[in-house]
Chain A
Amino acid sequence: MRWEDATRWMGTMVLLGVASLSILAVLFIFYFIAKEAIPFFAVRGFREFFTSPEWYPSGHPPRFGTAAILYGSALVTLGAIVVAVPIGLSAAICLSDLLPFAVRQAAKPIVELLAAIPSVAYGFFALVVLAPLLQTRGGLLFRTVVWAIGAPVGAILALMLSQTISLRFPARWQRGAGLVLLAGLGLAAWALLRSLAGRAGQLTVESGTNALNASLILGIMALPTVVSVAEDALQAAGREIREGSYALGATRSETLLRVVLPASLSGLAAAVILGVMRAVGETMVVWMASGNAAQIPRPWYNVLSPVRTLTATIAGDMGEADHVTGSERYAVLFAMALTLLVFSLLCNLVGEWLVRRSHRRWSGG
């Protein structure tokens, strides 16, 4: 009997040991990255690292200011979010509320396929197809995008506005007023779009490897994350509130906009944060397609200029950094890795907490 108890206890301990390898792994990762990074901060302090935009690691004297690089990471991530969140959110809404079950099962693989494509394949596409395209036909591309997004949005807005305003007219003239307003607003929208497209078409892209290129591709890469987490959140809101809203006579979009979305806000916030985490941690796409210029673009929102990100710097500069001789160069890369690690972990923790909150809120019936 005792022997069996002992073996059972040992077995459980072995399993626990194996399971805690994950804990060990995280602790080791933190330890080893911090071990190499701390000496850098001890010698050079925090101020230069975080606030100076001058990145000259092999200069005389060397300068290790990563402000421009942090900005590059931030700009590219912001661009990725601008692409991924609207599209991802709409797709999640579509998947959770609009599509019939069978179509939904067919659409989910599309999201998974996007997630499965290796990042180097995305980077290859960005470098070999998108960058030359931006350089040779950048203006045309921008014009097309302005029209492609502007036309449906403008038409919808014009329709809605004309309807809403015409309601204020007495009943007899409503239809006439509506049509006139529609024509007027439509014309205005069209004129606006034309001038926008004209200005966009004149933009020349001197260098196809820039923040825009990287942001676009990163946005597409972050889409699956945003879509799945957002869809989870929307589902977690539950059928009850939806049914209640429909029972009160709301249309589908009103239910979604006024009831479901606010209810799943924390889950949606998690989707955004996890999307940010995905975009920040990506290496190959930015290494190949962002240009790697450690500068803060002028003006700050000029996505057509090349930028440099944390991940690309770590990957690219590791060669020269010798952990015996140029110890500062080696250590600064670990310092960057530490920054990246801390940021990603924060995003992860906050995201997971938000997800759990959204589940907890609505699982209580």
Chain B
Amino acid sequence: MNWKTIGTATTVAALLASGKTNAQEKIVIDGSTTVGPIAKAFAEYYMERNPGVAISVSESGSGNGAKSLINGACHIATMSRAMKENELAAAKEKGVTPMAHVVAMDGIALIVHPSNPVQGLTLEQVRNIYKGLVTNWKELGGPDRPIVVISRDTNSGTYETFEELVMKKEKMSEKTEYVGSNGAIRQRVLTTPAAIGYVGLAFMEGVKALTINGVEPSAETVVAGTYPVARPLFMYTNGKPEGHVAAFLGLKDTKDGHRLIEEIGFVPLRPKVAEMPKTP
């Protein structure tokens, strides 16, 4: 009994019932919650100008996006980190050639509640906080309150980038609370005075962003390369994109696309930005 036979039969029946549509008229996007707002804004923009196309956006994490692309479950995988070695290997095994398109630049800002008097930290201090070595704000010049450490869930590209650039691959404290998205971290920090968290540039509204090694997180410092925790945001496709997918991706190079990215809060890739040196 071949599973695939049953599956195909069911699919045929379902499709006959529902009417198969041209694959070109559907774009499935899956992946990062950081890139999510860009994907959603682009999707609405695109759908408005191309009424026959249905675009759906899922935000379950960069890892899930990669997995979906490799399994052929989505057309575009949004990721806030580059694909890893093992993901590239698995893609090769499945005959998928992931092609990276950098959509925007982003910085990871360390955010605290606005009532927190601490203005800035060094990268080392941030690492110690997340490792659990520093547990109270008074050790950093603040009031006597235990630090509530909040991190992204491990399915996140933001988490991976943070782990690589800030934690230097060391383990986080077991007391760390995990939430599922940039928006969730921002929400928690907004409502918890003693909390600290990290988010992409577009999610700093209402919270206080700390300076890291004296540098403030902003579009300018990310472009200038002075902010130490910066990263590109990707959209991956299987091979060279065609048709609607290509047009959708092309938005990132248009003026409107740049403005959308800026309005959301990230740094669009203008020609001079593309020459920025890669982050260490």
Give bound CA distance, A237 to B61, whole Å. 53
Give bound CA distance, A295 to B151, whole Å. 14
Write out the residue numbers on chain B whose beta carbons fall within 8 Å of the beta carbon of A291: 177
Question: Which of B64, B90, B160, B194 is in CB contact (< 8 Å) with A58?
Answer: B160
Taken residue by residue from 150 to 183, chain B's Cβ proximity to chain A (1 for < 8 Å, 0 otherwise) reads as 0001111001100100000101101111111000
Give bound CA distance, A317 to B172, whole Å. 16
Question: Which of A54, A55, A319, A324 is in CB contact (< 8 Å) with B70?
Answer: A324
Give bound CA distance, A57 to B160, whole Å. 12
Q: A206-B146, A295-B174 are in contact. Are A326 and B86 (CB under 8 A)?
A: yes
Asked if A293 contacts B192 (CB within 8 A), the reply is no
Q: A53-B174, A293-B174, A293-B177 are in contact. Are A206 and B194 (CB under 8 A)?
A: yes
B97 to chain A, nearest CB (A): 15
Query: Does B201 count as interface, using CB distance less than 8 angstroms?
Result: no
Query: Does B8 count as interface, using CB distance less than 8 angstroms?
Result: no
Give bound CA distance, A58 to B151, whole Å. 14
Give bound CA distance, A257 to B179, whole Å. 46
Give bound CA distance, A291 to B185, whole Å. 11
Asked if A322 contacts B194 (CB within 8 A), the reply is no
Query: Does B94 count as interface, using CB distance less than 8 angstroms?
Result: yes
Query: Does A9 count as interface, using CB distance less than 8 angstroms?
Result: no
Tally of chain A residues near chain B (CB < 8 A): 36
Question: Which of A53, A131, A293, A321 is in CB contact (< 8 Å) with B176?
Answer: A293
Q: A58-B154, A319-B64, A324-B93 are in contact. Are A206 and B178 (CB under 8 A)?
A: no
B77 to chain A, nearest CB (A): 12
Write out the residue numbers on chain A whose beta carbons fall within 8 Å of the beta carbon of B160: 58
For chain A residues 33-54, which have a beta carbon within 8 Å of chain B? 53-54
Give bound CA distance, A206 to B150, whole Å. 12
Asked if A60 contacts B192 (CB within 8 A), the reply is no
Query: Does B145 count as interface, using CB distance less than 8 angstroms?
Result: yes
Q: A292-B179, A316-B180 are in contact. Are A68 and B64 (CB under 8 A)?
A: no
Asked if A320 contacts B63 (CB within 8 A), the reply is yes
Tally of chain B residues near chain A (CB < 8 A): 41
Query: Does A201 count as interface, using CB distance less than 8 angstroms?
Result: no
Write out the residue numbers on chain B whose beta carbons fall within 8 Å of the beta carbon of A295: 174-175
Query: Does B101 count as interface, using CB distance less than 8 angstroms?
Result: no
For chain A residues 51-91, which have a beta carbon within 8 Å of chain B? 53-60, 68
Write out the residue numbers on chain A whose beta carbons fall within 8 Å of the beta carbon of B244: none
B58 to chain A, nearest CB (A): 10
Asked if A324 contacts B71 (CB within 8 A), the reply is yes
B172 to chain A, nearest CB (A): 8
Q: A207-B177, A316-B178, A319-B63 are in contact. Are A131 and B191 (CB under 8 A)?
A: yes
Asked if B177 contacts A306 (CB within 8 A), the reply is yes
Asked if B154 contacts A208 (CB within 8 A), the reply is no
Residue of B61, B90, B145, B154 with most chain A CB atoms under a 10 A cut-off: B154
Asked if B192 contacts A58 (CB within 8 A), the reply is no
Query: Does A251 count as interface, using CB distance less than 8 angstroms?
Result: no
Question: Which of A135, A293, A305, A320 is in CB contact (< 8 Å) with B154?
Answer: A320
Asked if A318 contacts B155 (CB within 8 A), the reply is yes
Give bound CA distance, A132 to B180, whole Å. 18
Write out the residue numbers on chain A whose beta carbons fall within 8 Å of the beta carbon of B62: 319-320
Query: Does B67 count as interface, using CB distance less than 8 angstroms?
Result: yes
Query: Does A279 count as interface, using CB distance less than 8 angstroms?
Result: no
In the A-B complex, list the 10 residue pairs whose CB atoms are closest, starting with the nearest: A319-B61, A319-B155, A320-B63, A320-B155, A319-B64, A295-B174, A292-B178, A322-B67, A325-B90, A324-B90
Known contacts A132-B191, A316-B178, A324-B67; 7 further A-B pairs (Cβ under 8 A): A55-B174, A56-B171, A58-B160, A206-B146, A293-B178, A322-B87, A325-B70
- Give chain B's interface residues, CB within 8 Å of chain A: 60-64, 66-67, 70-71, 84, 86-87, 89-90, 93-94, 145-146, 148, 153-156, 159-160, 163, 169, 171-172, 174-180, 188, 191-192, 194-195
- Give chain A's interface residues, CB within 8 Å of chain B: 53-60, 68, 131-132, 135, 206-209, 287, 291-295, 305-306, 308, 316-326
